[in-house]
Amino acid sequence: MPQTTHYRTCHLCEAMCGVEITVEDGVIKTIKGDKKDPLSQGHICPKAMGMKDIHEDPDRLKKPLKRTKDGWEEISWEAAYEEVVTNIRQIQEKYGQNAVGIYKGNPNVHNLGGQLYGANFSRAIKTKNNFSATSVDQLPHHLASLFMFGHYLLTPIPDIDHTDYMLIMGANPMVSNGSLMTVPGFGQRLRALQQRGGKAVVIDPRKTETADKASEHFFIRPGTDAVFLLALLNVLYAENLANLDKLAELVTNAELIPNLVQAYTPEIAANITGITAENIRQIARDFASAKSAVAYGRMGLSTQAFGGVCQWLINVINIVTGNFDQPGGALFTTPAIDVVTLLGFVGATGNLGRWKSRVRGLPEFSGELPVAALAEEILTEGEGQIKAMVTIAGNPVLSTPNGKQLDKAFSDLEFMVAIDIYLNETTRHANIILPPATGLESEHYDLIFHSFAVRNTAKFSQRVFDPEPGAKHDWEIMRDLANLLKGEPDNPKEQKNLFRRLSPEAILDLAIRRGRFGTKFNKEKGLNLQKLRANPHGVDLGPLQSSLPNRLFTKGKKIQLVPDLFVKDLERLKATYLNPEGQINDDFNLYLIGRRHLRSNNSWMHNSYRLIKGGNRCTMQMNPQDAETYQLANGQQVKVSSRVGSIELPVEITDIMMPGVVSIPHGWGHHHQDIRLKEAQANPGVSINDLTDELLIDELSGNAAFSGVPVKVETL
């Protein structure tokens, strides 16, 4: 067979890097950056080669599996469907609709089929026990967007390509290439910012790869970011640096901010955060005096006890300095497929607290409960107890708090089905595993990440390989199961259900045509799927643009600057940090934070030998001062314990860590014998989520509080 070249978007993380893939005799020969991609412009990271490894992985499941007393057995799709539908119906008839739980993992958001058909599948099961990776990641962002801008997906994006000052908190975009800020090639963009005389400042308990390249870096005690942000606002108002500028007519209740931040002087904040009062004042002054500036806070801010308040305050700082909806500040995207507007058109802008979890009373958000409550909802007996689970492209045993507890909970289920390509730490508990055709065998369009990108672009990726005969895509599996669970449609609305009748490409074409750049508004020059197919490198739709007030979904098209729920949560913050009593437990006197590696994103990437080769990355990083206190040598094996459990791993002594803080990477812990992940099992590491605590959450949103878990370290 002749050599062929394919242009595609890498689907392994949020960066949306364009890739050029050459194939010869059915085998991938090279994967390079696509220099003609309008967003990534040739940038790729090592994860791109993981697409080849996953496609060729001998451990990847390709036929339905059934767990029997004699082990796993391959069965037909028809038999697998019958098992799933029969068991779900029987359990719901016996225990009620909510006896079935659903968990959707992070890869769903990188997948066109999962994005288009997942919600329809969930509706077919008719349960309130829906969970996803959202509540161990970015839920506070959605909370702030809903109550400030009227739509939970209306996320402000830093205009890094035009800003003069960027404040980065709890984020490491040199490694992630952005998160809720899709920014491939962040390093080049950071250098360009600095070369034009701009400045990037990083606030983080670890001197990350981003902090190392930034103009300035300041250590901060984990979990105290909200206090730091309040102190910045205190300075902005105390020194008359706040200026709404053009936003004055679009903002409500701005006059309330000075009183809310009055108690958080730089001196008070310095004692709490570890950042000096002088530095706090200088950061506030520099931010306010820059020609343009933007504050960006990501996962480290969201996954802490005051994640919701943090994301609210980030928005407030951008707004009251006049850096919102302005070039170089924070702006909303206008993508070719505008998911925000499409959901808003049907009234799906977001909700909070329509129901609560049965055991702990944690609030629902937009149809999902916090995953920190999942294990207890399975383990706690009584009416409404979860008896069966459906997991879709997720490994919550390794990715959610107190993984050992969830591992035990899954073993207690009466039935479990997993839609997944691997037999992993979670799916090993399933009765049925349904493996979809995946990755390079699927067409791809990033529905969500185009909405979070630093530039408006559109790109459709055609499949590189045909699926094996008899294989099913994930959208086909979810469509088939939904149709079987619903039965024949008996009402006109269900008969018109697009997800019963249309393929992803047909739905995609409709959405593109109806978008701002579509043929509905410009018949000759507008976009449709055919035009995207004809432009395999993607289409450039221009830089981020001012879009207010039309982009808002709030009443009266006004920014709600001071929503009541955030103001009320400041009382909890006050009780926590302005209380003279110390916050450190004598037994657990170190703070634990996570970290991410450039060659990792999800736990299943650890089965790619290219992505895990090299030295052991599953180490506990610790500051030399702390290592001396504990009399530890570099590489020494230590025991790390929290309220919920303990793990053992080697210590890595490094001055990139703030004293009093230790860091362990996420996604490891592949030590179970009954999984099929050869490469991962050869390099198992340990799971940080055997230490993280399901009781530590942001009470406002229910998001897991991974950052700042109290731990202790002991020598072995």
Residue 584 has a pLDDT of 53
Q: From CA 630, how far away is CA 640, in angstroms rounded? A: 12
What is the location of CATH 3.40.228.10 in the chain?
Answer: 158-333+552-571
Average pLDDT over residues 309-321: 98
Residue 581 has a pLDDT of 55
Average pLDDT over residues 98-105: 98
Per-residue pLDDT band at 614 (split at 50, 70, 90): confident
Residue 1 has a pLDDT of 67
Whether 522 has a pLDDT exceeding 90, the answer reads no
Residue 524 has a pLDDT of 82
3 state SS for 434-477: ECCECHHHCCECCCCHHHHECEEEECCECCCCCCCCCCCEHHHH
Average pLDDT over residues 586-609: 88
Residue 491 has a pLDDT of 75
Could you report the per-residue pLDDT of 377-397, keeping only the tens digit for each?
Answer: 999 999 999 999 999 999 999
Residue 605 has a pLDDT of 86
Whether 297 has a pLDDT exceeding 80, the answer reads yes
Whether 488 has a pLDDT exceeding 80, the answer reads no
Residue 521 has a pLDDT of 77
What is the location of CATH 2.40.40.20 in the chain?
Answer: 584-715
The topology under which CATH files domain 584-715 is: Barwin-like endoglucanases (2.40.40)
Whether 599 has a pLDDT exceeding 90, the answer reads no
Say which CATH class 158-333+552-571 falls into.
Answer: alpha beta
Q: From CA 582, how far away is CA 619, in angstroms rounded? A: 29
Helix runs in 487-616, H state only: 492-495, 498-501, 504-514, 529-533, 564-577, 609-612
Q: Are 433 and 64 in contact (CB under 8 A)?
A: yes
Closest to 666 measured CA to CA, from 686, 643, 646, 684: 686
Could you report the per-residue pLDDT of 646-662, keeping only the tens digit for each?
Answer: 999 999 999 999 999 99
Whether 580 has a pLDDT exceeding 60, the answer reads no
Residue 673 has a pLDDT of 87
DSSP per residue, 568-598: HHHHHHHHHHSSSS----SSS-EEEE----T
Could you report the per-residue pLDDT of 317-337, keeping only the tens digit for each?
Answer: 999 999 999 999 999 999 999
Could you report the per-residue pLDDT of 7-16, keeping only the tens digit for each?
Answer: 999 999 999 9
Average pLDDT over residues 96-117: 94
- Per-chain mean pLDDT for the chain: 95
Whether 492 has a pLDDT exceeding 80, the answer reads no
H/E segment holding residue 273: helix 266-273
Average pLDDT over residues 234-251: 97
Residue 525 has a pLDDT of 86
Residue 582 has a pLDDT of 47
Whether 489 has a pLDDT exceeding 80, the answer reads no
User: What is residue 518's three-state secondary structure?
Assistant: strand
Q: Are 30 and 22 in contact (CB under 8 A)?
A: yes
Long-range contacts of range 623-628, CB-CB < 8 Å, 24 or more positions apart?
A: 623/653, 623/654, 623/655, 623/657, 623/658, 623/659, 623/660, 623/661, 624/653, 624/654, 624/655, 625/659, 626/590, 626/657, 626/659, 626/660, 626/662, 627/651, 627/653
Residue 600 has a pLDDT of 83
Per-residue pLDDT band at 598 (split at 50, 70, 90): confident
Could you report the per-residue pLDDT of 183-224, keeping only the tens digit for each?
Answer: 999 999 999 999 999 999 999 999 999 999 999 999 999 999
Could you report the per-residue pLDDT of 254-274, keeping only the tens digit for each?
Answer: 999 999 999 999 999 999 999
Report the percentage of the chain scoring pLDDT > 70: 99
Counted residue by residue, the chain has a size of: 716
